[in-house]
Structure 1
Amino acid sequence: MEQTSSKAPNFVPVILAGGSGTRFWPRSRKATAKQILALDGERTMIQQTVDRLALTTERKNIWVITNSVLAEKIGAQLPDVPVGHILCEPAARNTAPACGLAAFLMERDEPDTVIGIFPSDHVVKDAGRFAAALRAGIAVAAAGDNIVVMGVPPTRPETGYGYIEQGDVAMPAPGLLLPVRHVHRFTEKPDKPTAIEFVATGRYSWNSGIFLWTARTLANALREHVPQVAVKLTEIAQSYGTPEFEEVFARLYPECENISIDYAVLEPRSGKGEQSSGIYCIPAEFGWNDLGSWAALHEHQRSIAAPGCDQHGNVVDGQGVIALNSKGNYVYAKERTVALVGVNDLVVVETEDALLVTTREHSQDVGKVVKALQELGRKELI
């Protein structure tokens, strides 16, 4: 790992906020996506993300990449983020073009800027430990041609997450009593037997989707691995700040390959071998949860003993819920009284125009309801 000057690196967080969060239907819709909902308190998911990042940088340094449907509401929720830092993708093109857009924009003026990529809809129990891990990651990313990923210690053989196989200890984490390890490889969403094997080895972490790198490092990686995307993003970045930007952005961005940053950069680069890839993993030991389903929200609420939790494992968001001889249920009901009698592990979500009833086990499949509604032409419900 190369050494640089002692000057503190410039840090720019980039929040990816373009998703629709279909697994949180019926609360989450296109115009009220998961990231702008307050799922676990008074602050919305994206507001909580900005609050955490504000421990390491000023809010005016934060950028958000979203879509035209959500931009106005996000701007209203984040008044301290400059309007010019909220970019609307003309088309959804997965995470590689979104991350790359930030890299090429920053590379124009300050190529040594450390860019952090953050999902907009995750929760963290310990913001202080998050900030400490983030500062450590920024230092590693700034020290050379390095890529840093936050790896979450797995608690179960989850098949909905990507996995990071960690190799040898590379160095102590700056400011942390934790090691920074080389990354051996990335594996996307394994099947259950493979996930069980991964967890049993003790060498694997969940991929949190939080990455750190300098603008130069990411831009060069995209030039190497997805050169056609890099060419288009370069032209878009060059037009930023000019009257032609919106036209160039709208014309070229939809032509970018629809590919995740994992497939575009991380997997091919980790294939070089852990000692030469320059990819490092910092343990994300700060109580991370991606809230990817109603079941995950139930788990998170239980873990923090949130209001509405009872001694039988039920989690209730609403005043009129009665639970008799019922265990492990999640209920969201603000308008109607919901009575549970002799049922376990259900998810019940009531909104003005829809009612969802499923089990916690099948809550990952709620997105299929949205697809079914699309096929039925029920646009008013999505």
Structure 2
Amino acid sequence: MPLKKIILHRLMMRMIDPFATSFGTMQDKEFFIIEALDTDGNRGFGESVSFPIPWYTEETVKSNKDIIEDFLIPILRDNEIEHPNEVFPLFGRLRGNNMAKAAIEGAIWDLYAKREGIPLATALGGEKTEIDVGISIGIQPTMDALLTKIDGFLSQGYKRIKLKIKPGHDVEMLREVRKAFPTTPIMADANSAYTLDDIAMLKQLDDLNLLMIEQPLQHNDIIDHAKLQKEIQTPICLDESIHSLYDAQKAIELGSCKIINIKVGRVGGLSESIKIHDYCKEHGIPVWCGGMLEAGVGRAHNVAITTLSNFVLPGDTAGSSRYWEKDIIKPEVVVEDGVIKVPTSPGIGYEIDEEALEEFRIQKIEYDL
């Protein structure tokens, strides 16, 4: 792959609605679109998923730029790459910074698929022609507002509802939702808001027939999650605790979870995501693709990885209109009856909307390779 240039497009996009979790509330999303160009004029695109504040992982938008500029681009300059699977091992000499690594690797995967003339999903080994999707709903100001939102999304056909919880906004809220929607697939996402001192409360969730509770305990823990899983019937899904195949292996060995959420940015890219997917499949652990409030490019990568066979639970890859008045791709990602049809064009399958890219761009930096 004769790489010629990497371009960082720094964007600022405003979400339609504020998104509230136990971490905080966000409406303005700052991120990078990474463009990889080869000597034949092909263009591949990736997207960074870190936030401006290090509340999900230690990475930030600013730290991503520094890592890409100071370390990852020099690695690309010093090495010839024939296949995207070579990128993550090359970046492996640097610890952490998985979101920065994934953003660059994603652009190279898209470029590779375009050079091969195949959809990214095919390049990854995907089998599905359409994927089921759920919806993630942030903490709402009132119960009526929450129930109205849930009802609206269910009427659009979404296959699963994910609700954010935190201490003081958990069991009673979930009981009210379950009462209103007795058969709807519902899961709770705690974003590390609890400890083992909350076992008595968490046991109450067993009566609500939840699909899972996601990351109830510390963000870097697999020991206490194993203790908790022995005490509750509700399946635990690990998110923030899983940064690598190694983490997934140890969590499964300990019995820390029954489900794993694979986020491409969190684990360092598509290549590592495939390895985690394959290992979980071998060990009977279902996976699903979590979202990071992505714009169109990151959303397209999520669609592609979800075509792998063990992504058996609906992910968070909602349509573009869930978050943005205008996305940066065309056509936008569309959900019909809870399903996204996998694009068949080469690469991510969506074109960059150049006018939208320029409209939302606040900085552009080019690096020759």
State the TM bucket, normalised to the shorter chain: under 0.3
TM-score (normalised: structure 2): 0.27
TM-score (normalised: structure 1): 0.26
